[in-house]
Amino acid sequence: MTGTADAALLDLLRLLDERAYDFVTPTPASHARVIARPTMRRAHDLRGMLGWSLPFVPGTIDRKVADLLRQAGMIEDAGNGLLKSRLRVSRLYGRLFLHSAYPTDQPDSVFFGPDSYRFADLIVAELARSPLPPGARVVDMGAGAGVGGIVAALANPGVHVTLTDLNPKALRLARINAAAAGIAVETIETDTLEPLSGPIDLAVINPPYIIDADSRAYRDGGGMHGGEVPLEMTRMAADRIAPGGRVILYTGAAIVDGRNALCKAIATLAAERDLTFGCRELDPDVFGEELSKPAYRDVERIALVAVSLARRS
């Protein structure tokens, strides 16, 4: 790692691992409900401080952890003599991941949540079924905290991993997360694949898929009820996969009158490029609260789907 602040964050992850720190990040809605409880006004342990993003009294929680956060510039004044971490830390597949503190309401927030766990499970299952050869090139598009690329490398050692994202803050945390996991990665600040040369053996994508009134890049999937960004990212990947290469897309799809317009559009894209195509629902109904918003007035449910594309050898 380079830079004192980055080194402090890497040391933080290693120290938390030694402390057997553990936290599973819920949805923002669940997070809000939990911290609204009277018992959750202040953090009294590391999970409250770095998981639930609660303010804490200086000197009352692990001082080594607080010192490392301070060295990294990741502690802020929460008022009334309290402090608050600017980061959360969660565990996934035995590894710790840095991501943005709750609430993730800033445009450059680095998101991590239930989708991250399901995305990781999908990648591990796909690579167990069909491993990549040594030296294969894996690209995690819109990598965020780096979950896709890091998990792919852990599940399939010997691959070369590139993480792309338009958010430099995300790439910074992803590099630290990868270093903590013992994974070498290349990071490229971009929202396309144009800066990458050569073909790709595996593209993994967990794009934003919800219509976001605030147009936050990590959450806003654009038109098609949030399907525009997933479709465009899949199109970019499909045009770059090598013979025998594939795309794994984990995303949400709005269902209107029983029809999945996103998967239908990707099926057409695959047929035009002579790629094999598969789409299956992982969960039939998520983010039901979105359906009460005007943008979803004709949507009956939002399904989580796993989409696979492959180019014949």
DSSP type of residue 58 = T
pLDDT attached to residue 3: 86
Domains and CATH numbers, the chain: 4-100 (no CATH), 114-311 (3.40.50.150)
Would you say 310 and 245 are in contact if contact means Cβ atoms under 8 Å apart? yes
* Distance from the first to the final alpha carbon of the chain: 38
pLDDT digits (tens, 9 = 90+) for 169-183: 999 999 999 999 999
Among 18-27, 49-58, 84-93, 218-227, name the one with the lowest average pLDDT. 218-227
The four Cα atoms 279, 283, 287, 289 give a dihedral, to 10 degrees, of: 120
Would you say 53 and 101 are in contact if contact means Cβ atoms under 8 Å apart? yes
Helices (H) and strands (E) in the chain, counts: 10, 12
pLDDT attached to residue 2: 58
In terms of DSSP H, where are the helices of 239-291?
Answer: 261-272
pLDDT attached to residue 1: 47
Burial zone of 117 (CB within 10 Å; 0-12 exposed, 13-18 middle, 19+ buried): middle
DSSP type of residue 294 = G
- Look-up: residue for tokens 């999945």? 260
pLDDT digits (tens, 9 = 90+) for 250-263: 999 999 999 999 99
* Euclidean distance between CA atoms 16 and 5, whole angstroms: 16
DSSP type of residue 165 = E
Mean pLDDT of the chain: 96
Q: Of 214, 213, 205, 295, nearest to 254 (Cα)?
A: 295
DSSP type of residue 133 = P
% of residues, the chain, pLDDT over 70:
99
pLDDT digits (tens, 9 = 90+) for 108-150: 999 999 999 999 999 999 999 999 999 999 999 999 999 999 9
The answer to whether residue 305 scores a pLDDT higher than 60 is yes
The answer to whether residue 213 scores a pLDDT higher than 90 is no
Would you say 160 and 185 are in contact if contact means Cβ atoms under 8 Å apart? no
Whole-angstrom CA distances from 256 to 15, 281, 303 are: 48, 15, 11
Residue 307 makes CB contacts below 8 A (sequence gap 6+) with 234, 247, 248, 249, 250, 251, 263, 266, 277, 278, 279
% of residues, the chain, pLDDT over 90:
95
Total residue count of the chain as it appears in this document: 313
pLDDT digits (tens, 9 = 90+) for 184-209: 999 999 999 999 999 999 999 999 99
